[in-house]
């Protein structure tokens, strides 16, 4: 087992439109991605890998993926993406040729980064907003988790397998979450399940495993827990997630930090040269 920590940056829900168009007539998702890529590039220590957890394009069209490839070109780190409900498997496969688990169909991938396995699961359902893991993907997940039971694993998928309390998102989450749960419970090496789709940092336990939703670099789904409004978004502070795996007893420890994107005042020292608090 490798003794080095592994750092995975997760960026999510990029919603890239054709050049010059704004998402919902209001959000410059390309500019948001440029700032996000710069923030990931500048992060020290450099992440070992970047996972893009779905909704890479918006409509989707081949032109959007071409633009996305251009926008991601400055990213200095290796990366892989999984489709969300706004993506097309075929267009994504063409834009990002990766060693996917299957030559067609779901874009699942297993990526080994040091002592850690990343399992990227395609939860997209053609032309539907909700998610589901098809039989092939569930079988692949179970077999892949069984193939190296000693290595800690992080699962990534676009659709959260839980209800976050936002009514219009909860009806388009992962519909067959129970099937995912029964596989996860069989494999104690799963240390984290990381989703996207809701554009806001969220945490729960699912099948005994910490399960997160990643914030977006652009806009957030309105935190309308009182069910007051029609589906709405808000332009809130952009961010990405940094998941660090620290080796240790058993499967080690995974710590998730939310990293805000932007320039902020600081860092300033707490203590003066005399060692006293300033
Ligand atoms: Fe989505």
For residue 128, report the distance from its CA to the centre of ligand 1, in Å: 10
For residue 12, report the distance from its CA to the centre of ligand 1, in Å: 9
Cα(15)–Cα(58) distance, integer angstroms: 4
Q: Are 209 and 190 in contact (CB under 8 A)?
A: yes
For residue 3, report the distance from its CA to the centre of ligand 1, in Å: 35
pLDDT digits (tens, 9 = 90+) for 223-261: 999 999 999 999 999 999 999 999 999 999 999 999 999
For residue 203, report the distance from its CA to the centre of ligand 1, in Å: 17
Longest dimension (CA), the chain: 64
Per DSSP, the residues of 180-222 read HHHHHHH-TTEEEEEE-SS-S-EEEEETTEEEEE---SS-EE-
Cα(243)–Cα(203) distance, integer angstroms: 13
Q: Are 119 and 99 in contact (CB under 8 A)?
A: no
Residue whose token pair is 């850690």: 116
For residue 15, report the distance from its CA to the centre of ligand 1, in Å: 9
Q: Pairing state of beta strands 202-206 and 209-213?
A: antiparallel
Burial of 61 (0-12, 13-18, 19+ CB in 10 A): middle
For residue 45, report the distance from its CA to the centre of ligand 1, in Å: 29
pLDDT digits (tens, 9 = 90+) for 97-112: 999 999 999 999 999 9
Residue whose token pair is 């789709």: 197
Sheet holding 239-246, edge to edge: 79-81, 49-52, 6-11, 239-246, 253-260
The pair phi, psi for residue 91, each rounded to 5°, is: -65, -35
Q: What is the pTM of this model?
A: 0.97
Tens-level pLDDT at each residue, the chain (278 residues) = 567 999 999 999 999 999 999 999 999 999 999 999 999 999 999 999 999 999 999 999 999 999 999 999 999 999 999 999 999 999 999 999 999 999 999 999 999 999 999 999 999 999 999 999 999 999 999 999 999 999 999 999 999 999 999 999 999 999 999 999 999 999 999 999 999 999 999 999 999 999 999 999 999 999 999 999 999 999 999 999 999 999 999 999 999 999 999 999 999 999 999 999 99
For residue 225, report the distance from its CA to the centre of ligand 1, in Å: 19
């Amino acid at each position: 087992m490798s003794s080095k920590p592994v750092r995975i940056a997760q960026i999510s829900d990029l919603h890239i439109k054709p050049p010059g168009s704004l998402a919902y007539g209001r959000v410059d998702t390309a500019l948001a991605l440029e700032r996000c890529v710069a923030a990931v590039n500048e992060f020290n220590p450099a992440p070992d890998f970047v996972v893009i957890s779905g909704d890479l394009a918006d409509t989707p069209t081949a032109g959007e993926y071409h633009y996305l490839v251009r926008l991601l070109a400055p990213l200095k780190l290796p990366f892989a993406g999984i489709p969300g409900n706004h993506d097309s498997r075929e267009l994504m496969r063409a834009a990002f040729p990766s060693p996917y688990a299957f030559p067609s169909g779901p874009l699942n991938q297993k990526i080994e980064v040091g002592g850690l396995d990343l399992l990227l699961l395609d939860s997209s359902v053609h032309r539907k907003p909700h998610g589901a893991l098809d039989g092939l993907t569930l079988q692949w997940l179970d077999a892949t988790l069984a193939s190296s039971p000693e290595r800690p694993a992080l699962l990534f998928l676009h659709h959260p397998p839980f209800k976050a309390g936002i009514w219009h998102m909860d009806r388009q989450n992962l519909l067959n979450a129970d099937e995912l749960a029964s596989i996860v419970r069989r494999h104690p090496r799963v240390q984290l399940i990381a989703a996207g789709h809701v554009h806001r940092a969220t945490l729960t336990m699912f099948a005994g495993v910490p399960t997160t939703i990643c914030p977006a670099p652009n806009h957030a789904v309105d935190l309308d827990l009182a069910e007051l409004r029609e589906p709405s978004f808000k332009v809130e502070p952009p961010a990405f997630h940094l998941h660090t795996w620290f080796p240790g007893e058993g499967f080690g420890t995974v710590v998730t930090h939310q990293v805000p994107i932007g320039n902020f005042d600081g860092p300033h020292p707490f203590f003066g040269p005399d060692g006293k608090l300033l």
